[in-house]
């Protein structure tokens, strides 16, 4: 469906999706370490992903990452414009447990 989200089924072996997950964690770390006593997140893997066609592609990622030895799950939204090439992290936060 045009404009709707589609599930990406092969997330664990999809190199592009895993690279976007790593990019998301790196961008989050970069934006949160300035002037703070902050423990970096360490990327583990993307565990779920959806893709939406927009002006480019919007990826909705569920990312496993470790901080202070504790593994948690985070939600990220990344927009990719392959013709530029450009990536932008729009959202990154801990996943809701509900």
**Between 38 and 72, the higher pLDDT residue:** 72
Looking up residue 72, the CATH number of its domain turns out to be 3.10.450.10
pLDDT at residue 42 is higher than 80 = yes
Domain count, the chain: 1
pLDDT at residue 98 is higher than 60 = no
**What pLDDT does residue 32 have?**
82
Share of the chain above pLDDT 70, in %: 91
**What pLDDT does residue 97 have?**
63
Range of the domain at 43: 5-94
pLDDT tens per residue across span 47-82:
999 999 998 999 999 999 999 899 999 999 999 998
Global pTM reads 0.89
- On average, the pLDDT of the chain sits at 91
* Cα 19 to Cα 34: distance, rounded to the nearest angstrom: 24
- Give the 3-state secondary structure of residue 3: coil
């Amino acid at each position: 469906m045009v404009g709707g989200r589609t599930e990406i089924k092969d997330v664990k072996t999809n190199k592009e999706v895993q690279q976007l997950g790593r990019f998301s964690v790196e961008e989050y770390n970069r934006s949160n370490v300035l002037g703070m006593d902050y423990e970096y997140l360490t990327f583990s893997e993307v565990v779920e992903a959806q893709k939406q066609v927009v002006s480019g592609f919007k990826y909705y990622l569920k990312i496993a990452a470790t901080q202070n030895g504790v593994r948690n799950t985070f939600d990220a939204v990344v927009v990719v414009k392959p013709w530029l090439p450009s990536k932008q992290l729009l959202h990154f936060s801990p996943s809701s447990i509900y």
